[in-house]
């Protein structure tokens, strides 16, 4: 077992606390929508027209004051809602206290999840809700946390700025110019602080022992991951649609890989 200095352990612990803030304290309720309901005996076409008007994809179905299931707008035609409603599947139900990041992974498998408040289903979350600010805060926070870890690891792994061997002269010059600018503002920093995410990527991927420690299987897979991560970060920073360039499946994959990479960083 590798010995970790006290100062480094404290830093990793503080990063874990920050990660916990993002992962545990922001819950599914921050993006859920209250679900309107209809009744089993309501006319299906009338309910569909109402859903069209309100832009609802799903609506809860009540029976004697209890929400027992839901209808999907595109399935409604003639008849009554009882002919179309679906009962809730256990895999579609989550507690109102479910961490937001867990909800993301639920939506990887489902188009929607329903929120239980006590023993009553009251709210719904769909893929469209993943564009909301709390999701953006969560994703940006995780990316920032990853960058902080990579900075820590590179700084420890390469004493005396020996990471320079993995960067071009142009990238080093850009880092040094930023370093000089920030020093002129009396900021207490190191040159390593001035590396961009693309620089950290190249350093990690070109140092085979470090890449293996982080569980990145190959340079090519690492480059693909970091390219997608940068694209996601840029979309977040510029308030763009999260799937402008990536499908939801790709977004979930990047999130899963980021979680794995953060876990590896915490062990180093």
Q: Is the pLDDT of residue 240 over 70?
A: yes
Flag the least confident range among 94-103, 125-134, 213-222, 244-253. Answer: 244-253
- Give the Cβ contact number of residue 141 at 10 Å: 17
* Mean pLDDT for the chain overall: 88
CB-based contact 44:77 (threshold 8 Å): yes
C-alpha–C-alpha distance, residues 54 and 50, integer Å: 6
Q: What CATH number does the domain located at 28-128 have?
A: 3.10.580.10
Report H helices in the chain. 6-24, 44-54, 100-109, 133-157, 169-184, 197-206, 208-213, 219-237, 248-267
What integer is the mean pLDDT of 45-50? 97
What integer is the mean pLDDT of 99-119? 89
Which helix (H) or strand (E) covers residue 80, if one does?
none
Give every strand in the sheet of 66-72, ordered side by side. Answer: 37-39, 58-63, 66-72, 86-87
Of the chain, the end-to-end C-alpha distance in Å amounts to 11
3-state DSSP call for residue 84? Answer: coil
> pLDDT tens digit string along 62-75?
999 899 999 999 99
pLDDT at 22: 66
Higher-confidence residue: 165 or 118?
165
Q: Is the pLDDT of residue 8 over 60?
A: no
**Residue 245: pLDDT band with limits 50, 70, 90:** very low
Flag the least confident range among 1-5, 89-93, 164-168. Answer: 1-5
Q: What is the pTM of this model?
A: 0.82
Dig out the tokens for 34 from the structure.
Answer: 């209250």
**Residue 104: pLDDT band with limits 50, 70, 90:** confident
Query: What percent of the chain has a predicted confidence (pLDDT) above 90?
Result: 60
3-state DSSP call for residue 71? Answer: strand
On the 0-12 / 13-18 / 19+ scale of CB atoms within 10 A, 30 is: middle
Domain boundaries, the chain: 28-128, 134-267
3-state DSSP call for residue 125? Answer: strand
Q: Is the pLDDT of residue 176 over 70?
A: yes
> pLDDT tens digit string along 134-172?
988 888 888 999 999 999 999 999 999 999 999 999 999
3-state DSSP call for residue 166? Answer: helix
Higher-confidence residue: 239 or 64?
64
Q: Which of 266, 260, 198 is nearest to 229 (CA)?
A: 198
């Amino acid at each position: 077992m590798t010995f970790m200095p006290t100062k480094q352990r404290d830093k990793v612990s503080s990063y874990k606390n920050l990660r916990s803030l993002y992962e545990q304290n922001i819950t599914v309720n921050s993006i859920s929508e209250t679900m309107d309901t209809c009744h089993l005996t309501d006319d299906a076409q009338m309910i569909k027209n109402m859903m069209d008007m309100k832009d609802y994809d799903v609506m809860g179905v009540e029976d004697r004051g209890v929400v027992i299931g839901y209808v999907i707008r595109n399935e409604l035609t003639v008849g009554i809602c009882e002919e179309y409603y679906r009962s809730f599947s256990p895999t579609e139900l989550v507690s109102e206290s479910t961490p937001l990041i867990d909800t993301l992974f639920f939506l990887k498998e489902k188009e929607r999840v329903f929120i239980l408040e006590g023993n009553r289903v009251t709210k719904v979350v769909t893929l469209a809700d993943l564009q909301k600010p709390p999701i953006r805060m969560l994703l940006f926070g995780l990316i920032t946390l990853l960058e902080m870890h990579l900075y820590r690891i590179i700084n420890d792994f390469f004493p005396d700025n020996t990471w320079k061997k993995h960067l071009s002269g142009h990238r080093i010059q850009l880092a040094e110019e930023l370093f000089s600018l920030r020093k002129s503002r009396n900021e207490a920093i190191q040159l390593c602080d001035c590396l961009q995410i693309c620089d950290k990527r190249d350093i990690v991927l070109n140092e085979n022992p470090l890449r293996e420690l982080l569980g990145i299987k190959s340079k090519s897979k690492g480059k693909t991951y970091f390219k997608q991560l940068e694209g996601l970060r840029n979309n977040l920073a510029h308030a763009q649609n999260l799937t402008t360039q990536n499908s939801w499946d790709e977004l979930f994959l990047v999130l899963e890989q980021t979680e794995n990479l953060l876990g590896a960083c915490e062990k180093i």
